[in-house]
Structure 1
Amino acid sequence: MLSLLIRGRFPSPAVADVGAGTGLLTRELAARGFAGTAIEPNDVMREEGIRRSDLNFPFRWLNGSGEATGLADQSADWLLMGNAFHWTDIENSLQEFRRVLRPDGFFTPIWVMLDTDRDATVQSVDRLLADAIPSFSRHSDVVMKFINSLSTGTSDFSNHRVFLDSHHSEVMSKERYLNMWRSRNDLQSALNPREWEAVIKKIDELLVEEKVVLKLRTYAWIFEPEEIPH
């Protein structure tokens, strides 16, 4: 739906993926025929994104951030941030986006979150983690508070409509699912190695099948430059 809207206005849009990380969203955009610039301030993540990009990859990589993209004035038709907008200095980033977007361009912040309301497995893991780590809380709780503020009277964005709010699922192997939890350094640091391995073992025991259906929810807004709050 987003792609159709963008291509309806720009046959060959110049796209900027800001806060691109290792290029997960960038590669999705490239697969849909888009081209432009992937902007990431973290050297390690940007270098990994470059490593994963072949010679014909339609996005160039640039060292920059939401507050200072490094792009020229009015050089982007569509600027996106995937799971990253809440990390920025919002006021400075929005000023930067108004600068780099063409007058008829679009800004789209996107979040893909675990759908904890619909995913019984994640709910079980949460209970397990809460038992093992008294201070346990989800980073996603903070992110969801920010996302919800975009739709309420607590934000200058509240007068603008949600463009996309959708549910979907991703099937992954049991091992990949366990690795997703193993990568949570914030949780791991709260326990000693033996305790952490015991938690991973309990998560493993929760998983009956060799495949895990991960339930996700996508939130996306779309704004034109004149709609971006000042």
Structure 2
Amino acid sequence: MLDIPNGPATKWGDFSMNAVEYGQRPPYSPVVLGALTRTVASIFGQVVIAELGAGTGNLLRSFDSQEVIGFAVEPNDAMRAVAHRLAPHESRFEWVSGTAESSQLPDNSANWVLLGNAYQFVDPSKMFREAHRILLEHGFLTIVWNLRDFKRDQLQRQIEEMVKRQVPDLKRTGTSVADIMDAVDTEGLFSEYCYLEAGHEQNFLPQHFLDTWKAGHDVPSQVSKEVWKDILSKTAEMIPNEPLIRTRWITRAWTFQAI
């Protein structure tokens, strides 16, 4: 990370200050999640999920099938509170205060473990051991990312280019996902199963679109509060004055099977 004399705007891994904005991030691709759900169901029947680092429930709310049940593991009180506020009647998932390394779930309690936009915050070795512990035999683990599609979305690309001009040495998680996943070592607990990706569109109210940028974590964790405030101000100026902002995203999912 960059050297910031007066400290960063956000502490790495702490979403307490932007939990509300994080709840405005878009759902994951229904094509990717649908294909993976059918795969798990074909082997186990009932799909029982355990999402590690469930945040504000964005990934879990992306599942349309009422046949999907399970657990949402999240250590941050503010994130869990937003999740309950956004889906107060959601009863398919039991929320648990725990971490990816220590979920507090029983052994063999799920047949599918997921991490959505969370792998960069965990201790991989401990996470893989924990996922293996809570999975049924031959259960699945999916590390999935929902990313801005800069290649196909001119507005988001222009905003990203502005951010990089402001902070030339910025390290971006979203643009290094392939490198991150190439370095994955499951320590013999999992075998590679499949890779899926699909693009999707999402319309936002202008303020909610700005919130998706406010929810960002790798930028404010590398810049000062003043720089981050300036970036958000410039971002707001770039958003068209239109009723809805049409955006494009891409979901990328790496799935492993427990050995």
State TM-score, norm by structure 2: 0.72
Moved more, 161-170 or 80-89: 161-170
Separation of aligned partners in 1, 2:152 and 2:144: 20
Could you say which residue in structure 1 is the equivalent of 2:104? 70
Separation of aligned partners in 2, 1:173 and 1:130: 25
Separation of aligned partners in 2, 1:222 and 1:192: 35
Contact kept, 8 Å, 1:132 with 1:199, in 2: the verdict is no
Q: Is 2:73 the partner of 1:36?
A: no
1:97 to 122, 131, 134: 131
Moved more, 109-118 or 53-62: 53-62
Q: Is 2:202 the partner of 1:170?
A: yes
> How far off is 1:221 after superposition?
1.6
2:244 to 208, 211, 215: 211
Q: Secondary structure at the match of 1:41?
A: coil
Q: Secondary structure at the match of 2:106?
A: coil
2:227 to 191, 197, 207: 191
Q: Report matched runs for 1:130-145 at 5 Å.
A: 130-133=164-167, 136-145=170-179
**Backbone CA RMSD of aligned residues:** 2.9
Which residues of structure 2 form unaligned runs of 5+?
1-34
Could you say which residue in structure 1 is the equivalent of 2:212? 180
Separation of aligned partners in 2, 1:91 and 1:41: 19
Contact kept, 8 Å, 1:107 with 1:224, in 2: the verdict is yes
Contact kept, 8 Å, 2:193 with 2:256, in 1: the verdict is no
> In structure 1, what residue type is equivalent to 2:116?
G
Q: CA separation of 1:183/1:81 partners in 2, compared to 1, >3 Å: closer, same or farther?
A: closer
Contact kept, 8 Å, 2:50 with 2:70, in 1: the verdict is yes
Q: Is 2:257 the partner of 1:224?
A: yes
> In structure 2, what residue type is equivalent to 1:189?
K
Total equivalences in the alignment: 220
Separation of aligned partners in 2, 1:69 and 1:61: 11
Q: Secondary structure at the match of 1:175?
A: helix
Q: Is 2:48 the partner of 1:11?
A: no
Contact kept, 8 Å, 2:206 with 2:241, in 1: the verdict is no
Higher Cα radius of gyration: 1
Separation of aligned partners in 2, 1:164 and 1:18: 20
Separation of aligned partners in 1, 2:249 and 2:77: 29
Q: CA separation of 1:143/1:42 partners in 2, compared to 1, >3 Å: closer, same or farther?
A: farther
Could you say which residue in structure 2 is the equivalent of 1:122? 156
Q: CA separation of 1:131/1:169 partners in 2, compared to 1, >3 Å: closer, same or farther?
A: same
Percent identity over the alignment? 25
> In structure 1, what residue type is equivalent to 2:252?
Y
Q: Report matched runs for 1:74-85 at 5 Å.
A: 74-85=108-119
Q: Secondary structure at the match of 1:160?
A: strand
1:14-43 Cα shifts (integer Å, max 9, x gaps): 211111001111222365431111100112
Considering Cα pairs closer than 8 Å and 6+ residues apart, tell me whether 1 or 2 has the greater RCO.
2
Q: CA separation of 1:182/1:47 partners in 2, compared to 1, >3 Å: closer, same or farther?
A: closer
